Amino acid sequence: MKIYTKRGDGGMTDLPGGKRVSKSHSFLEALGAIDELNSCIGLLRSFLPDSETSSAGELRAVQETLLRISSALCGSPVTEHDDSPAALENAIDRMEEKLPPLRHFILPGGNAAAATAHLTRTVCRRAERRVAELVELEKKNNKEIPRGPAAFLNRLSDYLFVLARHLNRVAGTGDDDTGA
């Protein structure tokens, strides 16, 4: 089977169920942003130090959740999983126990893993905005999109921010505090 079909060469693509839409459709924007986020998390995992086995496992679970969210947005029946943000909240709390209190804005950066976590956080925020846009559009069309993906993405960006701080602490670089 060839990977290319040429059906999308004119700027249209197929949605689940066979409906054809523009590749700029809000549905595809949301799916594309989630796919980009998943790829960034894969990149982030590749930069983690070997000592960060718990973070690597958490990020792997996040990637699996993002695949389930994409499937759910496509309308595919998904197997029962807990995609609530509770695991992310627990990880945030665990990391924050060892971090100094945040008193100022910080500049994204530090070591490669932390900088990648900051970049991934911004991609996550974009995915969250695209999913929110899709939810609004579908509401206008009397279709319901589950609220779970938006909550998960919101908490994921918090997790990625704290993970960046944690990774800088582990590397001994600390936060680049603006003092503002």
pLDDT digits (tens, 9 = 90+) for 135-174: 888 788 777 666 678 899 999 999 999 999 999 999 998 8
Q: What is the pLDDT of residue 157?
A: 98
Residue 69 and residue 83 in contact, taking contact as beta carbons nearer than 8 Å: yes
List the structure tokens of 111: 């070591």
Reply yes or no on whether the pLDDT at 71 is more than 90: no
- Give the C-alpha separation, 129 to 121, whole Å: 12
Q: What is the pLDDT of residue 8?
A: 85
CB atoms within 10 A of CB 17: 7
**In degrees rounded to 5, what are phi and psi of residue 14?**
-95, 135
Residue 166 lies in a domain: yes
Residue 180 lies in a domain: no
- Give the C-alpha separation, 156 to 62, whole Å: 8
Reply yes or no on whether the pLDDT at 58 is more than 90: yes
Q: What is the pLDDT of residue 142?
A: 75
Residue 2 lies in a domain: no
- Give the C-alpha separation, 126 to 128, whole Å: 5
Residue 62 lies in a domain: yes
Count up the domains in the chain and report the number: 1
Q: What is the pLDDT of residue 81?
A: 57
Q: What is the pLDDT of residue 7?
A: 84
Q: What's the whole-number mean pLDDT along residues 61-85?
A: 79
Q: What's the whole-number mean pLDDT along residues 36-59?
A: 97
pLDDT digits (tens, 9 = 90+) for 77-112: 655 556 679 999 999 999 999 999 988 899 999 999
Q: What is the mean pLDDT of the chain?
A: 89
Q: What's the whole-number mean pLDDT along residues 125-132?
A: 95
Residue 152, Cβ density class (10 Å: 0-12 exposed, 13-18 middle, ≥19 buried): buried
Residue 57 lies in a domain: yes
Give the residue numbers spanning the domain of 164. 23-75+83-173
Angle 37-39-41 from CA coordinates, rounded to 5°: 70
Residue 164 and residue 63 in contact, taking contact as beta carbons nearer than 8 Å: no
Q: What is the pLDDT of residue 124?
A: 98
Residue 59 lies in a domain: yes
Residue 4 lies in a domain: no
Reply yes or no on whether the pLDDT at 178 is more than 80: no
**CATH label of the domain that carries residue 66:** 1.20.1200.10
- Give the C-alpha separation, 81 to 90, whole Å: 17
